[in-house]
Structure 1
Amino acid sequence: MMRSGDHSTTIEVPPMESDAVVKGKAPLLPASNARPAAGWKRGVAIFDFVFRISAMVAALAAAAAMGTSDQTLPFFTQFFQFEASYDDLPTFQFFVIAMAIVAGYLLLSLPFSIATIVRPFAVCPRMLLLFLDTVALTLTTAAGASGAAIVYLAHNGNQGANWLPICQQFGDFCQKVSGAVVASFIAAFLILLVVSLSAMALRRV
């Protein structure tokens, strides 16, 4: 405002163009930053889904291989029959039950994994899957470790306990139970990757 005697003149200054540009662009910045984050989280969710299916297949294969491990030697008498089966050992029974539970859980978890693909910023499904995946990883590792101990004894025996190796006689049986143990460790490794991906995604929420 300028004064000259008793008269006053008002000069209005229009807003600067740079301010208008800044004000116009400011709301667009969060959206542009959210797009890469959403794409990254959706990619993690897709890998989670793929690893989850692979772990389910490995766990199901381990349970099926162990559950069908049964071999009878061709020579037997009227009173003695030499047979090896998974249900002769409680450890192998636990292995079959545990791997079947893990495979069933992974199947039921697929819809939640799909939900994280559709909604990459959802926290609750990831938290639930992270907790249950950790339990599944613990169960899978316990089943694989206990099965591996019995497989080792079947292959090598234990001289101190006077346990003889049986794999020379029951070759097919040992081959199946060994394959089941390997499949369980593959499933445990894949579930470990799933847990790691969930933790990484939650860290960037």
Structure 2
Amino acid sequence: MSYDESKTINIKESKSESKGKELAGGPPPAVVATTKAASMAGGGKRGVAILDFILRLCAIAAALGATITMGTTDQTLPFFTQFFQFQASYDDLPAFSFFVVANAIASGYLVLSLPFSVVTIVRPNAVGIRLLLLVLDTVMVALTTAGAGAAAAIVYLAHKGNTSTNWVAICQQYGNFCQRVSGAVVASFIAALIFILLVLLSAVSLRRN
């Protein structure tokens, strides 16, 4: 009986020692795994936020370039008469004027959104700021797409004309004008595409929360 009692005591002591070693050695493996997973998730969100900031810089270049190009586009033909001067300017067409306003608003918004994008890099778990950017980016997608679509329709008519309504293509005479407005429309569509990518990035970041 004495041998069995000593054996039981030794077993109890070994269990208490193992518990002491677990307490002295650090947190349980489950806690360590959870901490590592949270750290990896935070790093992924920070990477998304950095990509968001870079895309906003690219969108600024595209939207601002479209605004300046369209807003400074006009061409006067070298021949004119005493009563007529053949000139084409962006503000002759309401669609081009709307295009300039839409892309100017988008450019201003993108500049103002940069500090918020920086905050999401510093604090990748900030849900409120990310949700605000998601909503406003969605609005900008609609605005830039509408402006680019309206201008694209006029550019198409300028290049091709319309025989059914007797609208003559003018790009043969106003070649420089058509090239500039076409480039502005392409830049605006690029800005709209970047806005769509920004919306997707915000959705991914919010999904991970």
TM-score after normalising by structure 2: 0.89
* Percentage of identical aligned residues: 60
Distance 1:200 1:170 in 2: 46
Q: Structure 1: 5+ residue runs without aligned partners? A: 3-9
1:134 equivalenced with 2:135 (yes/no): no
Per-residue deviation, 1:56? 1.0
Following the alignment from structure 1 to structure 2, what is the Cα–Cα distance between the partners of residues 20 and 139? 63
> Structure 2 CA distance, aligned partners of 1:20 and 1:143?
68
**Which of 162, 181, 193 is matched with 1:158 structurally?**
162
Q: After superposing the two structures, state which structure 1 stretch, 26-35 or 61-70, moved more.
A: 26-35
What does residue 29 of structure 1 align with? 33
Q: How far apart, CA to CA, are the structure 1 residues paired with 2:27 and 2:124?
A: 28
Amino acid of the structure 2 residue aligned with 1:134:
T
Q: Is 2:58 the partner of 1:57?
A: no
**Which runs of 5 or more residues in structure 2 are unaligned?**
2-7
CA deviations on 1:123-179 (whole Å, 9 max, x unpaired) are 011000000000001101101111100000000000111100000000000000000
Aligned-pair Cα RMSD in Å = 1.9
Letter in 1 for 2:27: G
Provide the TM-score with structure 1 as the length reference. 0.91
Q: Deviations over 1:55-78 (max 9, x none)?
A: 011000001110011000000011
* Structure-1 residue corresponding to 2:121: 117
Q: Secondary structure at the match of 2:61?
A: helix
Deviations 1:161-199 (A, max 9, x none): 110000000000000000000000111111111111110
Name the SS of the counterpart of 1:169 in structure 2.
Answer: coil
Q: Secondary structure at the match of 1:83?
A: strand
Note the 1:86-125 alignment, pairs <5 A.
86-125=90-129
Q: Which has the higher helix share?
A: 2
Q: CA deviation at 1:16?
A: 5.6
AA paired with 1:175?
Answer: Q
Q: Offset at 1:31?
A: 1.8
